[in-house]
């Protein structure tokens, strides 16, 4: 079992993809990134990327990358909120959102190590019993050390409402999958699509992405045993696979 899968199990989630869903803004960006990057994964992960001097065979090297990913995630979330607001205000298409994504220069720390998320997860599995690495991953996945940081609005969201929200997001991703992307880069399309869906979801339900994320974490017990929620997650993954089809 990889470390991400182990953390998913501890949170009561059925698999790591559900953890990725929890991790990302409006509860979908993580699995989008995992899906897009998995296409680049080889049969084995290299310990040292060619673009950066970092020994990923060592615990220290892994912690360095996780720290960079956490720092980058803070910036990416700010960029996500900015693009989501702009997309909603200006009614941007997916191709227009991709163009804005490129202009915003959204960065991925793993790029400089020439690693996909799947490859990095293989490296993480070598340190799966290390408490410091586990804590770093938990923080990266959006589960604070002191527990879930509930927002006022999130406390009003029950499992039924969260399923409704996820079904709405599913519908929006299915629409985007059939639209002109305006980019061949999977990560650009991923980020732009997430921003569009985030903006539409926030507007439709009068909630922030933080409200939804917090509620998903708080309700994860009920959601993980809900056949409807699991079915929606599966359909989300299928919609995102279609969205990423034939991209680099």
Average pLDDT over residues 17-23: 41
Output the pLDDT for position 218: 85
pLDDT in tens, 174-205: 999 988 888 888 888 988 999 999 999 999 99
Output the pLDDT for position 149: 60
Please tell me what DSSP assigns to residue 112.
Answer: G
Output the pLDDT for position 145: 46
- pTM of the complete model: 0.73
What's the token pair of residue 136? Answer: 């770093």
Output the pLDDT for position 243: 86
Q: Where are the alpha helices (DSSP H) in the chain?
A: 3-10, 16-23, 29-38, 59-90, 94-104, 117-124, 131-140, 159-177, 186-205, 209-218, 220-224, 227-243
pLDDT in tens, 47-78: 444 445 678 888 899 899 888 888 887 788 88
Give the residue with greater pLDDT, 24 vs 53. Answer: 53
Backbone angles phi, psi at 141, to 5 degrees: -80, 0
Average pLDDT over residues 10-15: 42
pLDDT band at 24; cut points 50, 70, 90:
very low
């Amino acid at each position: 079992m990889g470390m991400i899968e182990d953390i998913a199990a501890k949170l009561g989630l059925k698999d790591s993809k559900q953890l990725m869903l929890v991790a990302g803004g409006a509860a979908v960006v993580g699995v989008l990134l995992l899906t897009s990057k998995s296409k680049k994964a080889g049969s084995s992960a290299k310990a040292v990327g060619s673009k950066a001097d970092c020994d990923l065979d060592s615990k220290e090297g892994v912690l360095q990358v996780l720290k960079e990913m956490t720092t980058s995630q803070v910036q990416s979330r700010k960029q996500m909120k900015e693009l989501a607001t702009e997309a909603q205000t200006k009614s941007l298409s997916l191709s227009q959102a991709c163009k804005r994504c490129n202009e915003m220069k959204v960065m991925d720390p793993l790029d400089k190590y020439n690693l996909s998320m799947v490859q990095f997860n293989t490296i993480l599995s070598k340190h799966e019993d290390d408490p410091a690495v586990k804590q770093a991953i938990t923080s990266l996945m959006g589960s604070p050390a002191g527990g879930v940081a509930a927002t006022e609005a999130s406390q009003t969201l029950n499992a039924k409402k969260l399923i409704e929200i996820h079904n709405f997001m599913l519908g929006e991703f299915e629409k985007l999958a059939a639209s002109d992307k305006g980019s061949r880069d999977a990560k650009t399309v991923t980020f732009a699509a997430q921003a569009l869906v985030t903006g539409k979801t926030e507007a439709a339900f009068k909630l922030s992405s933080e409200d939804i994320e917090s509620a998903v974490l708080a309700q994860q017990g009920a959601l993980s045993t809900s056949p409807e929620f699991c079915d929606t997650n599966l359909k989300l993954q299928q919609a995102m696979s279609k969205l990423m089809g034939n991209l680099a």
